[in-house]
């Protein structure tokens, strides 16, 4: 009996071992790279990123990949998918830091194995912030409701809601959630804004959650695009009167336009709002601080309404292609909270450039400034011609980041806390859904080919009908639960006071 059991056990073990993958010997080589999704060929990845699972798109076939690293090799294959074991991947990253992992892909087509040109995944010495957060939203127009702010651990595949809008919505009451923002990549000081329904700004200061109403009689709106001051309890916001209109044929489909916009400063400790800039004929928006907190960058478009017979919004729709934003800065004294000396940083709207700049972000070392640029307007996520550009703040030289861009929309550029990684929102996959692409930015100031945020199931993006809107790096997770946010959302907002500057 014992012998029978032993034989059975050995048979089971052998069967299990039989599933161990080996690279086929009879292979016809193709003189090209394999078609894989996401495209991880020749990308540079952080030393702590989660496994780069991918799917082989060489027809509906069996496929496998051999990953060779300085310490050895592993082979993976699961139908068309290449799903990498997390522990083995970490072993590969540790071993290949500063070097590369070679990937050879094989696909069985009509019973015959084919091999493709190998490619490398370069492993940087630098790690990446452990978390990102993004607004998960369908690429919608005016409707809102089914949206949430999600935090994703980049070293694993864990993703959780920070706040889910459906937790406080019903058939009668709904609200939209807007930009989320963190102070110095940490989450003990953070915010996101909600409008309509249970509207208000959900503000976390030193771990304490409050709901504030930033709209005052003297300001255009509540705070919209936020920027936390890096050293003081201050937040710069834009205030916007925003409208949307829709193309009947253009594949950009939608224009989001500000008929008016200004900049305000919110003093968290005093719960006071004051005006930074509200120039007539200027549409100021997208504030962002320099790392030392002594300069506020922002975008502004000069736009004069000259048709009194129609509403501003109607005129804006008629002249939407004339709205072009340039990049400015204004000096700030954090101690006196005084602004002074507005300067043109990049005259994108000038005749010679004739473009529109949005969403500036300064690198943590203060040397570089990223922004999104397109032909006109402020909402480049819907502009297929939008690309990421970078200004060297020392030389004032502006360059298009060709390695990062595609022939579709790129927007929302942002830096990791160590300045070695750039994340952008890109619609390169299908033109409609934004996905977070992460690119290595080396010490020489060169951006490398970006990679799509890896998912456990490489088919994830095919079946996921939401955009990753406004992705932001975080060095720690948000610990306030979605339920706490929801409970606070239902409370009345504390009105902010207005202070004359």
Q: Is 60 in the site for other proteins (CB under 8 A)?
A: no
SS3 103: strand
Q: Is 431 in the site for other proteins (CB under 8 A)?
A: yes
Q: Is 247 in the site for other proteins (CB under 8 A)?
A: yes
Which residue from 70, 115, 118, 139 is in contact with other proteins, where contact means CB under 8 A?
139
Question: In 162-181, which positions are buried (b, 16+ CB within 10 angstroms) versus exposed (e)?
Answer: bbbbeebbeeeebbbbbbbb
In whole angstroms, the minimum distance from the beta carbon of 282 to other proteins comes to 23
In whole angstroms, the minimum distance from the beta carbon of 265 to other proteins comes to 33
| Closest CB to other proteins among residues 197, 360 | 197
Query: Footprint of other proteins on residues 166-185 (CB under 8 A)?
Result: 166-167, 169-171, 174
Q: Is 310 in the site for other proteins (CB under 8 A)?
A: no
Binding mask 451-480 for other proteins (x = CB under 8 A): ------x-xx-xxxx---------------
Q: Is 209 in the site for other proteins (CB under 8 A)?
A: no
Residues 454, 49: contact at Cβ < 8 Å?
A: yes
Q: What are the C-alpha distances in Å from 269 to residues 71, 205, 234, 497?
A: 54, 9, 8, 12
Q: Is 253 in the site for other proteins (CB under 8 A)?
A: yes
* Phi, psi dihedral angles at 6 (to 5 degrees): -60, -45
| Closest CB to other proteins among residues 320, 498 | 320
Query: Footprint of other proteins on residues 361-420 (CB under 8 A)?
Result: none
Q: What are the C-alpha distances in Å from 189 to residues 182, 186, 225, 290, 483?
A: 6, 7, 16, 18, 18
Residues 69, 92: contact at Cβ < 8 Å?
A: yes
Joined tokens for residue 382? 């819907």
Which residue from 88, 90, 140, 233 is in contact with other proteins, where contact means CB under 8 A?
140
Which residue from 2, 249, 304, 335 is in contact with other proteins, where contact means CB under 8 A?
249
Q: Which residue has the tokens 């070097």?
A: 99
Which residue from 42, 61, 256, 320 is in contact with other proteins, where contact means CB under 8 A?
320
CA distance 359 to 436: 16
* Closest C-alpha to 298, from 190, 244, 224: 224
Q: Is 213 in the site for other proteins (CB under 8 A)?
A: no
Which residue from 24, 141, 307, 354 is in contact with other proteins, where contact means CB under 8 A?
141
Q: Is 143 in the site for other proteins (CB under 8 A)?
A: yes
Joined tokens for residue 397? 């030289």
Q: How many residues does the chain have?
A: 501
* Phi, psi dihedral angles at 408 (to 5 degrees): -120, -175
CA distance 105 to 24: 11
How many other C-beta atoms can be found within 10 angstroms of the C-beta atom of residue 340? Answer: 9
Which residue from 70, 433, 449, 495 is in contact with other proteins, where contact means CB under 8 A?
433
Joined tokens for residue 324? 């072009």
| Closest CB to other proteins among residues 430, 491 | 430
Total number of residues that touch other proteins (CB under 8 A)? 45
What are the residues binding other proteins (CB under 8 A)?
137-147, 161, 164, 166-167, 169-171, 174, 244-251, 253-255, 317, 320, 429-433, 457, 459-460, 462-465, 486
């Amino acid at each position: 009996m014992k012998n029978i059991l032993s034989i059975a056990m050995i048979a089971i073990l052998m069967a299990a071992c039989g599933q161990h993958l080996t690279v086929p010997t009879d292979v016809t080589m193709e003189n090209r790279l394999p078609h894989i999704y996401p495209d991880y060929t020749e990308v540079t990845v952080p030393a702590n990123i989660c496994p780069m699972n991918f799917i082989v798109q060489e027809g509906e076939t069996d496929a496998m990949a051999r990953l060779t690293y300085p310490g050895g090799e592993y082979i993976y294959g699961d139908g068309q998918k290449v799903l990498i074991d997390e522990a083995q991947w970490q072993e590969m990253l540790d071993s290949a830091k500063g070097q590369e992992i070679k990937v050879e892909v094989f696909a069985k087509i009509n019973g015959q194995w084919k091999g493709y040109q190998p490619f490398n995944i370069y492993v940087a010495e630098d790690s990446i912030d452990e978390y990102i957060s993004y607004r998960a939203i369908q690429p919608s127009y005016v409707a809102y409701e089914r949206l949430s702010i999600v935090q994703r651990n980049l070293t694993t595949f864990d993703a959780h809601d920070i706040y889910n809008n459906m937790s406080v919505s019903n058939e009668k009451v709904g609200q939209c959630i807007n930009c989320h923002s963190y102070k110095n990549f940490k989450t003990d000081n953070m915010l996101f804004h909600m409008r309509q329904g249970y509207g208000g700004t959900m503000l976390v200061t030193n771990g304490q959650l409050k709901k504030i109403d930033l709209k005052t009689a003297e300001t255009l709106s509540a705070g919209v695009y936020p920027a936390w001051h890096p050293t003081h309890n201050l937040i710069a916001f834009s205030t916007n009167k925003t409208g949307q209109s829709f193309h009947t044929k253009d594949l950009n489909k939608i224009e989001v336009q500000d008929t008016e916009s200004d900049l305000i400063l919110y003093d968290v400790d005093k719960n006071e709002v004051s005006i930074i800039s509200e120039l007539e004929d200027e549409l100021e928006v997208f504030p962002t601080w320099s790392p030392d907190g002594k300069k506020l960058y922002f975008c502004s478009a000069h736009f004069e309404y000259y048709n009194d017979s129609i509403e501003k919004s109607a005129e804006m729709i008629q002249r939407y292609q004339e709205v072009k934003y340039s990049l400015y800065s204004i000096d700030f004294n954090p101690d006196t909270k005084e602004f002074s000396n507005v300067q043109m940083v990049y005259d994108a709207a000038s005749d010679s450039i004739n473009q529109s700049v949005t969403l500036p972000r300064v690198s943590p070392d203060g040397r570089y400034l990223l922004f999104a640029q397109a032909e006109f307007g402020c909402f480049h996520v819907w502009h297929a011609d939008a690309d990421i550009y970078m200004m060297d703040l020392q030389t004032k030289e502006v360059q298009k980041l060709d390695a990062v861009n595609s022939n579709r929309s790129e927007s929302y550029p942002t830096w990791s806390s160590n300045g070695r990684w750039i994340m952008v929102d890109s619609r390169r996959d299908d033109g409609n859904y934004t996905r977070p692409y992460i690119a290595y930015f080396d010490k020489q100031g060169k951006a490398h080919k970006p990679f799509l945020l890896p998912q456990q199931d490489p088919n994830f993006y095919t079946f996921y009908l939401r955009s990753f809107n406004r992705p932001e790096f975080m060095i720690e997770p948000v610990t306030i639960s979605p339920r706490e946010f929801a409970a606070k959302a239902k409370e009345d907002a504390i009105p902010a006071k207005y202070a004359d500057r």
